[in-house]
């Protein structure tokens, strides 16, 4: 199996407000569900068309391929087929992505990023502070039908690498510490929210595998997020006799920094060493990819106080990229957290970091910082 070296195309078909605040202008919505509720259908349609038409284009696929990458992971919403009004579908854009990927010799990993009622309560899960999809049997079944329709539509497409069943179903520990927990706009809607139990997740993954494998040949991969529980899967997938499956885990330095007050290189090295052990242990049973990672770190922020510190800041980004990539290279692959922050690629260096993240266009394997 060829090692994955890719990038995510986030904030294209699944919105994240902090990355495209202009779409949310005139509302106080914090996520895509509430944006849909607060805007008129016509205004929503107009804003989404402008965004989807311009945020990712064929030029971007050409650029990604030119940097030696071989895959794009594309987050898609549960309403991709346009059958969940008032949400506006977007499958025609995924069709275009497949055309562009084939033309530029890239593979596509379709990632089901949201589900009705949310699987994590994050804004990128569609509905902030709400997490109770797994409790609704009808919605669980609906998600399986979405996965099946995606498999049927793209099973024979030469650009399809595989399908990721569900992005980031949340664990108990992450749910209890996530900043979005308890922050639902509608408290009544959030009642009954909680973490996604491991027992449910195993059952759902087994059902999803059977649904997808009916349509996908064994050369197409089926990917499962670890649910923030990388060390708990053991030989589950092997016991269930699943073929060509991959475990996806997401590892961020900045997430670790939320709990560790020391922003120093030695802390990052310890964090990487701990993750190397976890990845190796999990990799004994199933190929593992780091499906989201980035070079953002608070140590770099220290060097933005003076005009002469810009190069120091860039150097700390490069160091963070290098130490992570050494670990990721021991896995089945890695997919940088996102292709871009803003459509405006000329955004000033300082302004991008002030928004709390890394440089624009620094996604190219994490080291090509312009």
Q: Is position 311 annotated as part of the catalytic site?
A: no
Structure tokens, 199: 């027992």
- Residue among 32, 168, 257, 319 flagged as catalytic: 168
- pLDDT string in tens for the chain (370-residue length): 689 999 999 999 999 998 888 899 999 999 999 999 999 999 999 999 999 999 999 999 998 898 889 999 999 999 999 999 999 999 999 999 999 999 999 999 999 999 999 999 999 999 999 999 999 999 999 999 999 999 999 999 999 999 999 999 999 999 999 999 999 999 999 999 999 999 999 999 999 999 999 999 999 999 999 999 999 999 999 999 999 999 999 999 989 998 898 888 999 999 999 999 999 999 999 999 999 998 888 887 777 665 557 777 778 888 888 899 999 999 999 999 888 765 544 444 444 444 433 443 444 434 344 4
Query: pTM for the whole thing?
Result: 0.93
Structure tokens, 340: 């871009």
CA–CA separation, 359 vs 99, rounded Å? 29
Count CA atoms closer than 13 A to 184's CA, side-chain side.
20
Structure tokens, 62: 């050409």
- Residue among 30, 164, 257, 292 flagged as catalytic: 292
**DSSP string of 229-274?**
-GGG-TTHHHHTT--SEEEEEE--HHHHHTT----SHHHHHHHHHH
CA–CA separation, 134 vs 118, rounded Å? 8
**Residue 210 φ/ψ, nearest 5 degrees:** -65, -40
Element containing residue 107 per DSSP (H, E): strand 107-112
Interacting residues of 280 by C-beta distance below 8 A, sequence separation 6+: 330
CA distances from 206 to 123, 202, 222 (A): 27, 6, 11
Distance of CA 261 to the CA centre of its chain: 26
CB 313 within 8 A of CB 272: no
Q: Is position 58 annotated as part of the catalytic site?
A: no
Q: Looking at residue 263, what is its pLDDT?
A: 87
Interacting residues of 294 by C-beta distance below 8 A, sequence separation 6+: 252, 253, 254, 336, 337, 338, 357, 358, 363, 366
Element containing residue 54 per DSSP (H, E): helix 41-54
Nearest residue to 24 (alpha-carbon basis) of 48, 8, 41: 48
Q: Pairing relation of β-strands 333-336 and 288-292?
A: parallel
């Amino acid at each position: 199996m060829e090692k994955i070296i890719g990038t995510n195309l986030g904030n294209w078909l699944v919105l994240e407000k902090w990355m495209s605040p202009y779409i949310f202008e005139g509302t106080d919505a914090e996520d895509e569900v509430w944006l849909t509720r607060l805007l008129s259908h016509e205004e929503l349609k107009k804003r989404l068309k402008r965004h989807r038409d311009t945020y990712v284009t064929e030029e971007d696929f050409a650029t990604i391929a030119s940097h030696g990458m071989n895959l794009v992971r594309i987050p898609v919403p549960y309403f991709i087929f346009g059958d969940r009004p008032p949400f506006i579908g977007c499958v025609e854009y995924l069709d275009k992505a497949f055309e562009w990927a084939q033309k530029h010799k890239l593979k596509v990993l379709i990632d089901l990023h949201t589900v009705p009622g949310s699987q994590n309560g994050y804004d990128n899960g569609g509905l902030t502070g709400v997490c109770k999809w797994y409790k609704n049997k009808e919605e669980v079944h609906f998600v399986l039908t979405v996965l099946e329709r995606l498999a049927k539509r793209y099973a024979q497409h030469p650009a399809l690498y595989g399908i990721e069943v569900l992005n980031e179903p949340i664990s108990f520990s992450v749910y209890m510490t996530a900043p979005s927990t308890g922050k639902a706009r509608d408290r009544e809607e959030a009642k009954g929210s909680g973490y996604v139990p491991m027992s449910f997740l195993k059952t759902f993954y087994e059902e999803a595998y059977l649904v997808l494998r009916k349509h996908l040949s064994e050369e197409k991969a089926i990917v499962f997020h670890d649910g923030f529980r990388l060390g708990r899967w053991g030989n589950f997938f092997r016991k269930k006799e699943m073929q060509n499956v991959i475990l996806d885990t997401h590892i961020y330095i900045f997430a670790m920094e939320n709990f560790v007050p020391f922003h120093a290189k030695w802390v990052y090295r310890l964090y990487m060493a701990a993750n190397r052990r976890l990845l190796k242990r999990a990799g004994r049973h199933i190929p593992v990819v780091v499906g989201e990672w980035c070079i953002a770190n608070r140590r770099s922020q220290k060097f933005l106080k003076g005009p002469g510190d810009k190069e120091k800041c860039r150097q700390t980004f490069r160091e963070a990229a290098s130490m992570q990539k050494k670990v990721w290279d021991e896995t089945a692959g890695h997919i940088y957290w996102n292709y871009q922050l803003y459509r405006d690629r000329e955004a000033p260096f300082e302004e991008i970091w002030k928004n709390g993240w890394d440089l624009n266009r620094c996604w190219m394997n994490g080291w090509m910082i312009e």
